[in-house]
Amino acid sequence: MPELLIKLVVAAAIASILARWSAFQKVLLQDSRTLKQRLALAIWLSAVFGASVAIRVFIPNYRAADLGLEGSFLAGLLGGYVTGLLSGMLISLPTFFKHEHLTMPILAGVGVLGGLLRDLAPDPEDIWRMSPFPDLSIYRFLRENRNHRRAAFHLSLLVGILMAEFVRQNLGSLTSFRPTELFQLEPLSHRPNPLTIVASYATTLFAVLIPVKIWNHTRTEKKLEEQKSLLADARLAALTSQINPHFLFNTLNSVSSLIRTDPVQARLMILNLSRVLRRLLRKHENFSPLRDELSFIQDYLSIEVVRFGDKLRLETEVEDETLDLLVPSMLLQPLVENSIKHGLSSKVEGGTIRIRTRKAHAKLRLSVEDDGVGIPETRLANLLEQGIGVSNVNERLKVLFGDGYRMWIDSQPGQGTRVEIEMPELEAGLAAAS
C-alpha cells in the first residue's frame, strides 16, 4: 500500500515538472496540433515517463516509480493515437534490459487506446473536465439530459483506464506467458487481498487523472493571462488606431472650423473627444456594463459624424433590459471602427451603422451592421482568424466563455456587413464570481 501512495506522488511530481516548461504549456493550449507538435509531445512524455520506467528497471526497490502504462495512456489522450503509439514504444525501451517482452506491445496498445478515446470526445475541452470518481460520471450520464455524449465519453475514459490495468494484471497469468515478461506492482502470484486489488486499480486511475487536473489548472492560468493580454492589446489597438496624429489633426481641424460657424457644436466635439481619451486611457476591468460601452460608442461616433457629415449615420435598437448586463470591455469599438474604415469610408454617399441588442433565452444578442461596400467571399471565410479587430474580439470571447458564445459575420459585396455576437447573460455579481 505505501508503494501505491508513492506512485501517486511520483505522478503528481512528473506532471508539475512538465507544467513548468513553457514549450509544454504552449502545446497544452492547442486543441488541434500539427504532426510536428504531436511528435514533440510524444518525445517529451516519453522522456519523463520512460525515465520512471528506467528507475524501476535499473534501481532496486523503486518499483513504485514505474508510470509507463499511465504515461502511454496520457500521451494518446492528449496527442492522439499516433502520439500514444510512439510514446508507448519509447517508454517501454528500458524494459528490454529485464527481458519484459510483453511491455512494448501492451504500452503501445494502451497509447493507441488513449488516442481512440480522444477521438470520441464531443469537444476537446471535455478531456479536461474529467472526474476521477466513477459515481459522479454515472450520475451525470443518468441525470443530465443535454450532455449524455459528454457523460458517456467520461465513463468510457474511466472504463478504458481500468481495462488497461486489468490487462496488465491478468495477461501475465496466462499459461502462454511468463509473469516476468510484464511488470505489475502487485503480481497475482502473490495472491493479494481484494482491498489491495481495488487500491491498485484506483491508483492507476488517479495516476492518470492527477496529471490531467494539474495540466488543466496550468491551461486555465495561461488562458487568464492570455485574456489580460488580449484586453490590453484591444485597448492599445483602439488607442493606436484613434489617437494618432491623423485622427487628432482631423478632429482638431474640425473643431477649429466649427469655432467660428458653430461654437456650441465645437464645444460638444471637444467634450466628446475628452471623454473618448479619458475612457481609453483609464484602467479597464474585464467586464463593463453595456450602458457604458454604448455611451463610449456614442462619444466616438459623434466625433466621426462631425468629420464625415451627413455621410455617416447611426441607428440603435437597444432593449432597456440589456443596458445593465455586462459585456467584455471594449467589445463594440473595434467592430464599429471596422464598419467605418472598411465599409463606409470609401462610399461616396456614405451609409448607416446600426447597433442592436436584445435578450433571448438567458443570452445577450449584439449586432453591429452597416450598409457599406461589404466583404469579398474569399476574405470572409478567414476573417475571424485574420481580421485584426474582429479576430481580437473573437479570441477574447473564446477565452472568456469557451464554447458558451457564438460569433458570426454575414456580408454581401455592395450591400453591407453584419457582425452578430451571442454570449451568456451576465450580471454584476455573476461576473465578479467568475
Question: Per residue in 132-162, pLDDT tens?
Answer: 665 555 655 556 555 677 778 888 899 999 9
Instruction: Give the helix, strand, coil percentages of the chain, each rounded to 5.
Output: 70, 10, 20
Residue 434 scores a pLDDT above 50 = no
Residue 190 scores a pLDDT above 60 = no
- pLDDT at position 355: 94
- pLDDT at position 49: 94
For the stretch 347-351, contacts whose Cβ atoms lie closer than 8 Å and that sit 24 or more positions apart, written own/partner, are 347/311, 347/372, 347/373, 349/311, 350/308, 350/309, 350/310, 350/311, 350/312, 350/313, 351/311, 351/312, 351/313, 351/416
Question: Per residue in 381-413, pLDDT tens?
Answer: 777 766 567 877 888 788 788 888 999 999 888
Whole-angstrom distance, CA of residue 290 vs CA of residue 388: 23
CB atoms within 10 A of CB 153: 22
- pLDDT at position 91: 95
Question: Per residue in 221-262, pLDDT tens?
Answer: 888 887 777 776 666 565 445 444 555 676 788 788 888 888
Residue 183 scores a pLDDT above 90 = no
Every domain range in the chain assigned CATH 3.30.565.10: 284-433
Q: Which of 6-10, 50-54, 166-170, 350-354 has the lowest mean pLDDT?
A: 166-170
- pLDDT at position 99: 85
Whole-angstrom distance, CA of residue 57 vs CA of residue 340: 68
| Confidence band for 208, pLDDT divided at 50, 70 and 90 | very high
Q: Which fold has domain 284-433?
A: Heat Shock Protein 90 (3.30.565)
Global pTM reads 0.57
The DSSP annotation for 41-90 comes to HHHHHHHHHHHHHHHHHHSTT-GGG--HHHHHHHHHHHH-HHHHHHHHHH
Question: Per residue in 13-61, pLDDT tens?
Answer: 999 998 888 888 888 777 777 888 889 899 999 999 999 999 999 987 7
Cell numbers 527481458 correspond to 99
Q: Which of 113-117, 338-342, 385-389 has the lowest mean pLDDT?
A: 385-389
CB atoms within 10 A of CB 106: 24
Q: For residues 166-183, give the mean pLDDT.
A: 69
Question: Per residue in 272-327, pLDDT tens?
Answer: 888 877 776 665 567 889 998 898 888 878 887 777 777 788 899 999 999 999 99
Whole-angstrom distance, CA of residue 102 vs CA of residue 96: 9
CB atoms within 10 A of CB 103: 28
Question: Per residue in 362-379, pLDDT tens?
Answer: 899 999 999 988 888 877
